Amino acid sequence: MNIWKSSKSGILMTAFSLLILIQAIMMEDQTIIDPSSGSFFPALISICMFAAGVFTIFQERLSWRSSSQNNSAEGDDADDLNTNSETTKTSNAFTKKDYTLILLYFGMVIVFVLLLPVISFFPAAFLFLITSMFYLRGISLVLNITISILTIIVIYFLFSELFNIVFP
Amino acid sequence: MDILQQLLIPFTDLNLLFLVAAGTLAGIFIGAIPGLSVTMAVALLLSLTYSWEMLPALALMLGVYYGGVFGGSRAAILVNMPGSPSSVATSFDGFPLSQKGEAGLALTLTTIFSFVGGIIGVAVLATAAPIVASFAIEFTQRDYFLLAMLGLLLIGSLSQGSMAKGIFAAGAGIILGLVGMDSIGGGSRFTFGSLQLMNGIDFITAILGLFGMSEILYQLKSLNEKGERTSLKKMAIPPLRFIFKFLPLSLRVSIMGVLIGALPGAGGEIASLIAYDHAKRTTKKPDRPFGEGAYEGVIAPEAGNNSAIGGALIPLLTLGIPGDAVTAIFIGALFIHGLQPGPMLMEQSGDLFWMMVGSSVLANVFLLIFGLLVVTIFMRVVTIPKQILLPIIAVITVIGAYALNNSMTDVYWMLGFGIVGFFMKVHHFSVAPLVLGMILGPLIDTSFRRAYMTANDPGVFLAGFINSPISLILTLAFVFTLFSQTKTYQHLKNNITKKVKKQ
Amino acid sequence: MKLKKFGYTLCVLTPLLLTACGGGDSSGSDNTSGEEDYSNYPEQDINGVIQWGEGGATDNISRTVAPLVEDELGGSLVMENREGASGATGAQYVYDQPADGYTLLFGAENPNLYQVLGISERDYLSDFKPVSIIGQSYAGIVVSADSEYDSLEDLINYSSENPGELTMGTSGEGGLPHVASSMLQAELDTEFNQVPYNGDGPLATALLGGEIDATVLAVSAAQEYVESGDFKMLAVINDESLDAVPEAPPITEPYPEFEKYLPWGPFQGVFAHKDTPEPIMDKLTTSFEAAQEDEEFQETLDNLGVEPMNIHGEEAIEFLEQNQSTSTWMLHDTGETEVSPEEFDIPRVEEEE
């Protein structure tokens, strides 16, 4: 019925644990029933995870029902059954604008990482620092560039000179 | 008299004094930067000091060791990015403290109690090394299994809200920790045929991603809101009563830290987790709830991981067995300088033992001095505008992940953990159990299987849990801790306290 | 701001930390014009991968030789341990890195057996080139000092009467204890309950704690504990006793039938990817050769109970072939391997001498 709506995370959890269980069963040269084999322990863990998932489904379902019946059903049990109130809380806290800002920034980090092997470390890091500080606003351009250069120099000394780490 | 003389060598020799000081200071900063590990630094020093005399080389390495373990907590407190696995536990309450504007106090307190822990570690090393060593080798695989399971019970304390979600996250962490080649059977697990995955997933990438990168993303939100800037309370010097108040706790966790540190298969990371757990269970009325900036929650893991250093030196100097990755490098150093680390080391070169004890005391003193001196420098980090701080931290997490094994794969993992961690935070899934699972998972898996294989029979295996005294104590501790988390226990306890009050 | 301060402090510390190394890597980067030009090698740090854990024989030898090689090579050699799966994790890692001479495998005898045991596809002879075989050592069967077995015969007799009751710590499939116990099984019909640990260090710990009944350790790793009276060495797997452990009898004394397996024992060597360019190989072999001539190093090897070999090139390949043939055919003959060494073109070496 409305199971998916009421307990998304619970269902995802059970699905994920089943996936692990299947992987554990399919492992080569291992037997699940033998505690000394490599797949026994992962299988056990996945069963625990499965149980946790099922439990969450019921819990979420319960809280979904009670909240749909009675919206002010909080109080003492709020700690245990607060999944639903959480979602409302987060939707209050994270607006679409926040998400775009955050995901765009994460995109910038990814571009930086992808650029690393192409244009080598220092130019990539420099570009990233400048653009991301510019993107986040509130910092004058002069300060921006000074800080970027300083950071790069410090990182160079630390990682490259002192620790002999070879950058891509 | 001889002993005293050898003990004082590092204090009287200016050269050694300077090396220990320099090592400690360098260690604090190296430890504070995520991705630069103490192990890396000490291994590097091993080669750099090859042509030196033995004592100066060891003095420098010891300084870096102490400083580095301590330094890891700086980043954990200030930016929620543990510099090393052994300071993961410090971030649970350290970062909330910093967000409440008490970064200075948190830094000062941890410095003082790291010193306390470190000194207790050295004291045990100096007075009871042979006893602790014989205890450490009695620790069987079954006991390692129980110890790791005890650590895993922390999930209960760490999962905010839903316990089921906490268990799930820890399970996922354990599975991630098991990815790669199976060190016992030889097969591969969860690698999906990928060669990259054969080498496993470095849990430091998980720490960098789940704590570092996800925190950056999470904090971007507050950029839009403005106004709410972390204020910095002036008080950085804790009142004297604080120190006396927390002394008993720090003594207890330090002793635990030494013992865990002395175990060849467990080190500072487990010591600090167990210490945090202990603090949470035994503190009846914390000033603030744990997880929201309890002082006990930063003191215990820091005292625990620093005392574990003294512990790790015990099997090294008495048996020639390393207590962790860093002391393993010390073994190499002893070999290179013509000594034979082994059970005969104490007899053949007792002066070395006392020199190490002396240098350790010295390193702790410098740790206290430098730790307090640089508090003001570190504290500034909190006041740096986020527009500047966040990009810089982002670059450091990327480099840090890369520097682990000089591989881009680790960077991709870090990014993956970062975005997963961000959404976990948004949906109020605690990320800590995941990291806990990754740290403890492999130990639980291998020790359980070895114990089972050694027993060679399910009956014998199960009987083992109550037959040996160490196992029995650990089993009881485990059962009790588990039971104390259930509702029945809470009810029972409440009933009893009520009855007692009525009477 | 934080970083600025880090930088200042570390700039002050840098000279101090670098005094010993002389800053060999300050130049470079500019003269990378021709790709075929290897004369500048090494231009960056060389990564030394040790396939066993910290504190074991391979680890000790590798970390001792590393700084000497650094002096010869004029670059840094950064050592790291990648243990697990009988050392296959480390071997695989080195194999996966580019064949540019910047990743070297510091290994023991195990990879010779990976193929027949199905642990990994990697193999010294087909996937790597030997840079240098540092030395060979001998293995000994050890029990804890308070063990009730005072001689090899006691242990063997008990084990063949009570199969599976005695626990033998191993270092995984293809490790020294595994091969040695299959040797014992083939000749003397013993059966041990084998439990794998991560190398010599953890094995010694387990034996000290009484968790395992017996194990086979390289003489180098066991010798300190034998001297201190913590371990008893029941026999060395050789045809005569060794100076390092004079009180341990050779295995051929009670059981002359082992003669045919000898000489057999662990060895330590340095390997590079098989596609490593010749000029780099030359530079590496000469550097390693010169480094091992250091007198102190010879002394260290002696202390460790290792017989110095310092061979490379064809000689090293011959040595590897001989060792591989002995071990693989022995495992096959005792029924430990399902596939025959013949499938991997490993010839059976005729018994020499």
**C299 contacts in B (CB within 8 Å)?**
338
Cα B493 to the chain's mean position, in Å?
32
Nearest chain B residue (CA) to A104: B217
Q: In the sheet where C231-236 sits, what is the strand order? A: C193-196, C167-170, C214-218, C139-144, C231-236
The CATH architecture assigned to C139-261 reads 3-Layer(aba) Sandwich (3.40)
Do A7 and A86 reside in the same domain of the chain?
Answer: yes
Name the residue with higher pLDDT: B278 or A90.
B278
**C78 contacts in A (CB within 8 Å)?**
164
Q: Which among B413, B443, B400 is positioned nearest to B177, based on CA atoms?
A: B443
Boundary of a domain, candidates A37, A65, A92:
A92
- For tokens 């780490």, name the residue: A165
A59-73, B416-430, C240-254: which has the minimum mean pLDDT?
Answer: A59-73
- pLDDT value of position C20: 35
Q: Do the Cβ atoms of A49 and B161 come within 8 Å? A: no
**A43 contacts in B (CB within 8 Å)?**
none
**A158 contacts in C (CB within 8 Å)?**
6-7, 10
Size of interface A-B (CB pairs under 8 A): 179
**B381 contacts in A (CB within 8 Å)?**
none
pLDDT category at A70 given cuts 50, 70, 90 is low
**A161 contacts in C (CB within 8 Å)?**
14, 18
Of A150, A157, A164, the CB nearest to C11: A157
Residues of chain C with pLDDT under 70: 1-37, 53-57, 84-86, 303-304, 334-338, 343, 345, 348-353
- Is the Cβ–Cβ distance between B143 and B471 less than 8 Å? yes
CA distance to partner chain B, nearest, from residue C14 (Å): 9
**B42 contacts in C (CB within 8 Å)?**
none
Q: Give the tens place of pLDDT for each residue, B98-155.
A: 888 888 888 998 999 999 999 999 999 989 888 888 888 888 888 888 988 888 888 7
Q: Do the Cβ atoms of B184 and C172 come within 8 Å? A: yes
Of B328, B406, B453, the CB nearest to C195: B453
**B265 contacts in C (CB within 8 Å)?**
202
Q: Which among B279, B270, B271 is positioned nearest to B255, based on CA atoms?
A: B271
Q: Do the Cβ atoms of A166 and B221 come within 8 Å? A: no
**Dist. CA B380–CA B86, nearest whole Å:** 24
Q: Which DSSP string corresponds to C61-122? A: HHHHHHHHHHHHHTS-EEEEE---GGGHHHHHHHHHS-SSSSEEEEE-SGGGGHHHHTS-S-
- pLDDT value of position A53: 86
- Is the Cβ–Cβ distance between C56 and B320 less than 8 Å? no
CA C37, C40, C44, C47 torsion: positive or negative? positive
| Residue A39 reports pLDDT greater than 60 | yes
**B319 contacts in C (CB within 8 Å)?**
205, 208
Of C7, C18, C25, the CB nearest to A154: C7
Cα B167 to the chain's mean position, in Å?
22
CB atoms within 10 A of CB A91: 9
Q: Do the Cβ atoms of B395 and A151 come within 8 Å? A: yes
Of A36, A59, A136, the CB nearest to B387: A136
Of B388, B399, B415, the CB nearest to A159: B399
Mutate: best of A36, A152, A162, partner C, most C CBs <10 A: A162
Q: Do the Cβ atoms of B162 and A56 come within 8 Å? A: yes
| Residue B489 reports pLDDT greater than 50 | yes
Q: Do the Cβ atoms of B321 and C63 come within 8 Å? A: no
Q: Give the tens place of pLDDT for each residue, B245-268.
A: 888 899 999 999 999 998 887 888
> Would you list the domain boundaries of chain B?
2-455, 462-503
- For tokens 């949470």, name the residue: B280
ipTM: 0.79
Name the residue with higher pLDDT: B386 or B448.
B448
List the chains bordering chain B where 3 or more Cβ pairs fall under 8 Å. Answer: A, C
- pLDDT value of position B50: 66
Q: Is residue A167 part of a domain?
A: no
DSSP C246: T
Q: Do the Cβ atoms of C193 and B453 come within 8 Å? A: yes
The pTM score is: 0.80
Q: What's the burial of A139, exposed, middle or buried (CB within 10 Å: 0-12/13-18/19+)?
A: middle
CA distance to partner chain B, nearest, from residue C256 (Å): 31
User: What is the tally of structural domains in chain A?
Assistant: 2
Q: Is residue A7 part of a domain?
A: yes
**A164 contacts in C (CB within 8 Å)?**
25, 44-45, 76, 78
Name the residue with higher pLDDT: A146 or C75.
A146
DSSP B193: T
CB atoms within 10 A of CB A163: 19
B29-38, B362-371, C47-56, C153-162: range with highest mean pLDDT? B362-371
- pLDDT value of position C5: 40
Do A103 and A151 reside in the same domain of the chain?
Answer: yes
CA distance to partner chain C, nearest, from residue A11 (Å): 36
List the chains bordering chain C where 3 or more Cβ pairs fall under 8 Å. Answer: A, B
| Residue A129 reports pLDDT greater than 50 | yes
B135-144, B397-406, B484-493, C338-347: range with highest mean pLDDT? B135-144
- pLDDT value of position B304: 93
Q: Which among B348, B284, B298 is positioned nearest to B318, based on CA atoms?
A: B348
Q: Which among B267, B314, B300, B279 is positioned nearest to B123, based on CA atoms?
A: B314
- Is the Cβ–Cβ distance between A58 and B205 less than 8 Å? no
**Dist. CA C288–CA C129, nearest whole Å:** 14
Q: Is residue A73 part of a domain?
A: yes
User: Is the omega angle on the peptide bond into residue C42 within 30 degrees of 0, that is, cis?
Assistant: yes
Pull the structure tokens for residue C335: 């029924």
Q: Do the Cβ atoms of C14 and A162 come within 8 Å? A: yes
Q: Do the Cβ atoms of C76 and A162 come within 8 Å? A: no
CA distance to partner chain C, nearest, from residue A156 (Å): 10
Q: Do the Cβ atoms of C59 and B22 come within 8 Å? A: no
Q: Give the tens place of pLDDT for each residue, C8-65.
A: 443 434 433 333 333 333 333 334 434 466 777 777 778 888 887 665 667 777 877 8
- Round the average pLDDT of chain C to a whole number and report it: 76
pLDDT category at B455 given cuts 50, 70, 90 is confident
Boundary of a domain, candidates A92, A110, A145:
A92
Q: Do the Cβ atoms of C10 and A158 come within 8 Å? A: yes
**Dist. CA C182–CA C337, nearest whole Å:** 10
> Would you list the domain boundaries of chain C?
44-137+266-344, 139-261
**Dist. CA B10–CA B20, nearest whole Å:** 8
**B320 contacts in C (CB within 8 Å)?**
55, 224
Q: Do the Cβ atoms of B454 and C195 come within 8 Å? A: yes
Q: Which among B75, B138, B61, B137 is positioned nearest to B106, based on CA atoms?
A: B75
pLDDT category at B393 given cuts 50, 70, 90 is confident
- Round the average pLDDT of chain B to a whole number and report it: 83
pLDDT category at A89 given cuts 50, 70, 90 is very low
Host domain of residue A82 = 3-92
**B331 contacts in C (CB within 8 Å)?**
54-55, 60
- Is the Cβ–Cβ distance between C79 and C70 less than 8 Å? no
- pLDDT value of position C153: 86
Mutate: best of B33, B45, B141, partner C, most C CBs <10 A: B141
Do A118 and A88 reside in the same domain of the chain?
Answer: no
- Is the Cβ–Cβ distance between A14 and A3 less than 8 Å? no
Q: Is residue A20 part of a domain?
A: yes
**Dist. CA A168–CA B383, nearest whole Å:** 33
| Residue A17 reports pLDDT greater than 50 | yes
Q: Do the Cβ atoms of B378 and C204 come within 8 Å? A: no
CATH topology of domain C44-137+266-344: D-Maltodextrin-Binding Protein; domain 2 (3.40.190)
Boundary of a domain, candidates A52, A68, A92:
A92
